[in-house]
């Protein structure tokens, strides 16, 4: 089976089932597993890529964090990590991701999620806002992100990514829910996504994040 470094590539069936953003599926209990795919990059080079799955008492995000810490990254270099994840981080993992980035100021982290995990719980909503507050963008996967994840982490036998029915509709629905949680608007999400292609927009994105998060901070 083809591998990423020392890891097996995902099968097409696994990818379509677990990364699928459909609101309802048969046997939904099977999608309780979290898959986290990541790419660690320098400005012009991908250094490491792989994926983690949650295990008993060990969330995929925690396994990912442990991996990044074990790399002992060069403090003089600037690194960017892009993550594709089936479920957005819970409040506990959000806190651990914040701690990782705070301890590694040379590291930039961007997360794309297929679905929102228990989004009705206030603590998970607070966790998502906390991530944005310290410049960890959590965005909803759309067709370009699904396609990139497919290209890099799936044993696709040279087949192109084929969007499933209503993919865009489901992404837009999830994005609207995320917007309500973050209390920001589509312009801010567009800028955050655009900064992936144009790093020059990062300062503007950071300023807008601070503006909206400060505006909605509880007052004494």
Residues serving a catalytic function are 61
Phi, psi of 108 (to 5 degrees): -110, 130
For residue 72, how many other CB atoms are within 10 A of its CB? 7
């Amino acid at each position: 089976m083809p591998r990423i470094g020392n890891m097996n590539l995902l099968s097409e069936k696994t990818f379509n089932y677990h990364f699928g953003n459909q609101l309802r599926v048969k046997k939904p209990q099977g999608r309780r597993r979290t898959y986290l795919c990541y790419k660690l990059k320098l400005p012009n080079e991908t250094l490491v890529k792989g994926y983690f799955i949650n295990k008993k008492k060990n969330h995929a995000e925690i396994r990912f964090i442990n991996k990044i810490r074990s790399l002992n990254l060069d403090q003089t270099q600037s690194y960017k990590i892009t993550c594709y994840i089936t479920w957005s981080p819970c409040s506990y993992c959000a806190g651990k991701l914040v701690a990782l980035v705070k301890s590694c100021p040379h590291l930039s982290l961007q997360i794309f999620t297929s679905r929102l995990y228990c989004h009705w719980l206030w603590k998970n909503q607070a966790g998502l806002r906390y991530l944005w507050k310290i410049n960890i963008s959590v965005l909803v996967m759309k067709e370009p992100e699904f396609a990139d994840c497919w290209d890099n982490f799936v044993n696709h036998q040279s087949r192109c990514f084929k969007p499933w029915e209503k993919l865009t509709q489901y992404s837009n629905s999830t994005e609207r829910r995320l917007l309500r949680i973050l209390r920001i608007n589509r312009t801010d999400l567009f800028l955050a996504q655009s900064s992936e292609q144009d790093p020059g927009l990062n300062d503007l994105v950071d300023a807008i994040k601070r503006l909206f998060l400060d505006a909605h901070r509880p007052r004494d």
